[in-house]
Amino acid sequence: MSLSRFATSYKRAPAANALVVDADRHYATGDTVPWHFIPSIIVASFFASLSGTLLTVELLQRKRLGKSLMSRVHLFACSVSMGLIGIWCMHFIGNRSISLGNGESRLQLVYNPGYTGLSCVLPVLGLTVVFQIAEISINSFVFRRLLDTACGLMAGLSIVSMHYVGNLGASNYTLTYPKRYLVAACIIAVGDSTIALALFFHLKERWINVLWKRFLCALLLAVGVCGMHFTASIGCRYELKRVPSEEAPNARNIPVIVAATMCFVAAVSCLMILFYVQYRNTILANRAQHMMLACAYFDEHGNIMVTNEGTLPSQRIAKRFVIQKFDDHFGIHHPVFFWIWKVSNDWASVMDLIPRMRAHLHRTSVYSGQNTATSSRSSIYDEESYHDSTILFREGYCVAAADLAEQLQKPLDQIGPLYDQVLGTGLLTAYQNGIRTLDNGGSQQSAIFEKGQLLFYARRLTCLEMDHYIAAGFRFAPFNRVESVIANTMQIPVGLLAIQMQRVQDYAYRVSVPSPPKQGTYFVCFAALARIRDSFRVLVPLDRQDDLPDVQVSPHNLNTGQLDYLKRYTGWTAERVIRDLRLKEQNWDVLEDGEEKAFIIMLRTALASLTTKLGERWLMDLVFCAEPTMLRYGATKAQRDGMTMVFGFTRLVDIHQPARKLPAGLTLANWDLVRMRQHYYPGCNDHGRIRREIHAEFGPLLTKHEAVARSEDRRVKSRKISRTRSALSEDSDVLKPDSWLEGGHLEARRGSIDSIIEHSQPWGGILATTNTVIEGRSKSGIELRNLTPQVTAGASATLKTKEPKTYVDCLYEQAKSHACRSMC
């Protein structure tokens, strides 16, 4: 039996519980009016509810966490879309499917505006509380399920309350509800809402971003709303209270029209969201072809911080890195990376230059006739204006770091240390080749051709920092739940990304743990392999590539007698030293000095530990130098608190010797990079020199372009004034010369850029301090003495600074000296 036939034959009477529907009968006040459903409007009401629930699910999926104003507005929009469109609009469209009596317009439902407005507010308020509670992060499974049940209960009651308050607004009928239908409607609303919301937030928590699963959640919500509504409507009894006027029945169409309009807006909004998501995915995919800067932050449980889209917070540095020669490649061995590393350890050196760099990049893109969005950070340069082709790329890095800090709502000097590797994105080779290369300790470039590259800031966050980023709208998720999203945006295989991010996480944890001070006496190994087209490769620990393999001999510095004892081993290989110590142990009874025995045991223990670290194949050929190096030893400021005595086992391995297998836990690093990291680290004493070098390089250039910008502005103004005066002179047939324009401004136009710079800043933009001596001569005749690199931008100066020696420099000199003696 069809639903309309069932409703039509459903008859009631006060005594016999039946009422015959007669098309010719007229109903009076107090009569029970029969009704039936209109199936087409029922279907329309379901799709109306579906449009609202689908919009709610899409908005919730993209809602940012936190307590910001935007987050609260977003939460309210979710409540409005569900309460107003998914429930309220469906209710009045569904009630329109109820045809009372013989379909006469004066017998249909007419609503009171007061109750209609109240029924609109109730679900919005209730769902606002529901969505706010549902986003509370709880790790306990039991409490999470209890919270889901509470949210479902409140959401179901919001649906039920809206239905009955809305029906209470019927001004011409008294509605009576059987208890069994009321209970059934409440169970449907609460149960369906609990299942749908629990399923949705379960998927969102696990970053299962699949459209058809979100559509399933929206479908369950719509079924719950419609099921509750029509279950309650089937058992409803309509008793006529009064017969409205002829005009009143027309008012019943107003809520339906409003509801239909809102549903149409919701459907269009859903389509716009889907198109926007596709557009964002395209943008994120295009970023994989560019030079990017991102941050990889981890909490104490290993969860990674991501945006609401499931990607890493990032900014673009440049569209590409302009290579200087055919075999050039940007990586950790490139001089530009060394400069980036220095700046990242001392942001105060460039912080005051970043606004001028940003203006310079903007002006370069505007006056080059290119699109600002695509070329403002490209490394295109003008040979007449730039002495270095990487100027714009380095400026782009500084500006990108400032933008990233602004995105994170943190000061620039608190964004964390720079990761010591460069990740290739937009890869074109097979997945297995990349995995095999990285597992063998090789470079990514050797087997993978990337279209873009990515630099990281890596940090391990504290609880207070996590609260800050959550309030800022970021989220923390296990990496295995977001790795597919991140891999798709970076366009790299998931397996390769997992290997790299594990290394980033290890690096973040390592730099976050305070290192104990290195004091006493140490044996350090310096094994360097020559390269034909590059600098040496130095053997370093895989997890501490800013240090050399070492072992502590004694927690104290050696005394004079112990130093004299070691001098007999000068120039000996490690194998010979170990053999000699073994012979002394075999003749233990001959030794009478107890201190000598204790010192031999100390040396044997240290060399045994060093052999375990390096392996006999690498250690035995290294040459010992008994000349101690007294310095502050360590890769961080905390490790350099006290003086340390260092003895080196060194050697420069010949390039013609056969390749050796790397020991476990060790790798080969660029010598220049290792040396640079020993010179520049957070809190180092060379920051003053870095600042002078950066200001000497960028100051004159930025000053020059600011002068050019002012000259261009004056030129544009003069042209406008000239055209205005010409127009006035044509009208009045009188032409008056402008002495200011012809004498002052045209002279500036004819002048060279050098003269503008000389007039605006005779010092050339060089940052000078009290311990700086300037040497050179400016065009204004002022004697300058400075020790900065030569800058061809309006002033000439030369910076001659000498970096202080570190222990790696001393070990390198020992190895070089031994190699020279071997050749002789």
> For every residue of 176-238, which 3-state class applies, written as one string?
ECCHHHHHHHHHHHHHHHHHHHHHHHHHHHCCCCCHHHHHHHHHHHHHHHHHHHHHHHHCCEE
- For 625-673, how does the pLDDT look when each residue is reduced to its tens digit (9 = 90+)? 988 887 766 555 555 556 788 899 998 877 766 667 788 888 888 888 8
What's the number of domains the chain is made of?
Answer: 4
- At 546, the pLDDT band (50, 70, 90 cuts) reads confident
* Amino acid, single-letter form, for residue 373: A
3-class state of residue 602 by DSSP: helix
Over residues 696-721, mean pLDDT: 74
User: How high is the pLDDT of residue 818?
Assistant: 80
696 plus 682 within the same structural domain: no
Residue 197 lies in a domain: yes
User: How high is the pLDDT of residue 43?
Assistant: 92
User: How high is the pLDDT of residue 628?
Assistant: 86
More confident residue, 359 or 746: 359
Residue 367 has pLDDT above 50, yes or no: no
Contact 163, 91 (CB under 8 A): yes
Residue 503 vs residues 51, 340, 382, 434: alpha-carbon distances, Å: 45, 20, 39, 15
Q: Which of 101-105, 283-287, 553-557 has the lowest mean pLDDT?
A: 101-105
Contact 450, 424 (CB under 8 A): yes
Q: What is the mean pLDDT of the chain?
A: 77
136 plus 240 within the same structural domain: yes
Length of the chain: 824
- For 418-428, how does the pLDDT look when each residue is reduced to its tens digit (9 = 90+)? 998 898 888 74
Q: Which of 38, 52, 520, 69 is nearest to 269 (CA)?
A: 52
Q: Which of 487-491, 545-549, 633-637 has the lowest mean pLDDT?
A: 633-637
Residue 501 lies in a domain: yes
- At 24, the pLDDT band (50, 70, 90 cuts) reads very low
User: How high is the pLDDT of residue 143?
Assistant: 85
Residue 21 lies in a domain: no
DSSP letter at 659 equals P
pTM across the whole model = 0.73
Residue 195 lies in a domain: yes
For tokens 């140490």, what's the residue? Answer: 522
User: Domain ends where: 279, 297, 315?
Assistant: 279
Contact 708, 572 (CB under 8 A): no
3-class state of residue 783 by DSSP: strand
Over residues 412-420, mean pLDDT: 90
Residue 623 vs residues 554, 582, 630, 669, 689: alpha-carbon distances, Å: 20, 18, 19, 20, 35
* 3-class SS shares of the chain: helix, strand, coil, % to 5: 55, 15, 35
Alpha-carbon torsion, ordered 161, 166, 167, 171, to 10 deg:
140
User: How high is the pLDDT of residue 791?
Assistant: 34
Query: Quick one: what percent of the chain has pLDDT higher than 90?
Result: 21
630 plus 754 within the same structural domain: no
- For 42-58, how does the pLDDT look when each residue is reduced to its tens digit (9 = 90+)? 999 999 999 999 999 98
User: Domain ends where: 252, 279, 306?
Assistant: 279
User: How high is the pLDDT of residue 294?
Assistant: 94
300 plus 404 within the same structural domain: yes
Neighbouring-strand partners of residue 423: 454
Over residues 363-377, mean pLDDT: 47
230 plus 308 within the same structural domain: no
- At 684, the pLDDT band (50, 70, 90 cuts) reads low
239 plus 97 within the same structural domain: yes
More confident residue, 154 or 16: 154
391 plus 250 within the same structural domain: no
472 plus 559 within the same structural domain: no
Residue 766 has pLDDT above 60, yes or no: no
Residue 176 has pLDDT above 70, yes or no: yes
Question: What does the block give as tokens for 144?
Answer: 């999470």
- For 62-88, how does the pLDDT look when each residue is reduced to its tens digit (9 = 90+)? 887 777 788 888 889 999 999 999 999
- At 439, the pLDDT band (50, 70, 90 cuts) reads very low
102 plus 225 within the same structural domain: yes
Residue 15 lies in a domain: no
For tokens 């891999």, what's the residue? Answer: 487
User: How high is the pLDDT of residue 31?
Assistant: 83
Residue 46 lies in a domain: yes
Residue 371 lies in a domain: yes
90 plus 192 within the same structural domain: yes
Q: Give the Cα separation of 124 and 155 in Å (integer).
A: 10
What residues make up the domain containing 548? 520-686+812-818
Question: What does the block give as tokens for 685?
Answer: 């004493």
Contact 550, 522 (CB under 8 A): yes
Over residues 572-590, mean pLDDT: 85
Contact 791, 701 (CB under 8 A): yes
Over residues 213-217, mean pLDDT: 90
630 plus 720 within the same structural domain: no
User: Domain ends where: 257, 279, 301?
Assistant: 279
User: How high is the pLDDT of residue 455?
Assistant: 93
User: How high is the pLDDT of residue 69?
Assistant: 80
Residue 679 lies in a domain: yes
490 plus 621 within the same structural domain: no
